[in-house]
Amino acid sequence: MVQAAVDAIEAALLAGAQGGNVLAFDEIVRRYQRRVYATALRIVRRHDLADDVTQEAFLRAHRALASYDPARPFGPWICRIAANLAINHVRSPQSREDTLDEVALAQFPAPGSDGPLDSVLETEARDVLEEAVGRLPPEQRAVFVLRTFEDLSYKEIAEALDLSVGTVMSRLSRAREKLRDALAGYLGPALDRAGGASR
């Protein structure tokens, strides 16, 4: 029931924004800003670029509101816009010279844990995963982020990045293989520490 109420409120906000209500669109931005920023940051790997991408994504969304279908979920739509902009930034020559912003890793909250040791292990695993994702080629990183963190379908990712579904699947498969290889050295010792190794 709560979800239905939230959906109704969002639908009303979107209808208001489409009708030119600036305050309604401001509320939509407030609701989705962190999610869009997180999507952008996972792809561009820099705070300043993620801020730029987030602002531009909402500007483009605002300009496209007249053609937006309110029957479609807004979250995946705005995140697809952000992902497109982010991958364009990553493809630029200047971005190849940029390095990972260490503070970026702190933007992704750790899941709940049972105790101090669990918290340390979860934080360590999260940081290792984020670093490994950051080392993926940009095209594979974008597909992985949209599939894993945004839970978009292959078709939605293909439409967002102007790719075939087969290319999306291929890039995702290669990304997962690279991440498995990158994390193998960490996951083995982590399992040993946790007493979960079964070899």
Give the end of a domain, one of 64, 98, 132. 98
The domain of 166 spans 108-199
For residues 3-22, average pLDDT? 81
pLDDT digits (tens, 9 = 90+) for 82-120: 998 998 888 765 544 443 343 333 344 444 444 444 555
Which of 29, 35, 32, 30 has its CA nearest to residue 146? 35
Give the end of a domain, one of 98, 125, 158. 98
CB 94 within 8 A of CB 141: no
For residues 181-187, average pLDDT? 74
* CATH code of the domain in which 28 resides: 1.10.1740.10
Same domain, 142 and 191: yes
Same domain, 81 and 128: no
pLDDT digits (tens, 9 = 90+) for 118-156: 555 567 767 777 888 888 888 899 999 989 888 888 998
CB 160 within 8 A of CB 152: yes
pLDDT digits (tens, 9 = 90+) for 46-80: 899 999 999 999 999 999 998 888 778 899 889 98
CB 24 within 8 A of CB 62: no
Same domain, 118 and 37: no
Which of 4, 22, 136, 11 has its CA nearest to residue 71? 11
Same domain, 94 and 123: no
pTM: predicted TM-score of the whole model, two decimal places: 0.69
Q: Is residue 103 part of a domain?
A: no
Give how far the C-alpha of residue 73 lies from the chain's centroid of Cα atoms, to the nearest Å.
Answer: 16
